[in-house]
Amino acid sequence: QVQLVESGGGLGQAGGSLRLSCAASGSIFNILSMGWHRQAPGKQREMVATINLSFSRDYSDSVKGRFTISRDNAKSTVYLQMNNLRPEDTAVYYCVAKQLLGTKLTNYWGQGTQVTVSS
């Protein structure tokens, strides 16, 4: 089992910045990638950013150029630096870790952290 604990959410202003952190603990081996998804009220959960073992990054078009994902393997932590925030970034942000054990691929999710951006 992998446990994920997010922190850093809260209230931000349009044009401002927030930084999210996600610390992994437990059986944190063979984690292929970590990332962030978000879910706004009345909308489906969507991928925001991911980073894999080789530090290759992927971003949704809506955050590309504004958000940066990074990871610190020594601390088993992934970060999401969010700059130039927009009101449409308001959502619950979830950390996710993808683990491969043998042939079984499992996604672990954090509890979510609320990000609210005021205009």
Q: What is the mean pLDDT of residues 93-116?
A: 96
Asked whether residue 94 carries a pLDDT value surpassing 90, the answer given is yes
Select the more confidently predicted residue: 111 or 53. Answer: 111
pLDDT of residue 28: 87
Asked whether residue 97 carries a pLDDT value surpassing 90, the answer given is yes
Tell me the pLDDT tens digit for each residue of 8-17: 999 999 999 9
Average pLDDT, the chain: 95
In which band, very low, low, confident or very high, does the pLDDT at 83 lie, cut at 50, 70 and 90? very high
Report the distance separating Cα 40 and Cα 16, nearest Å. 19
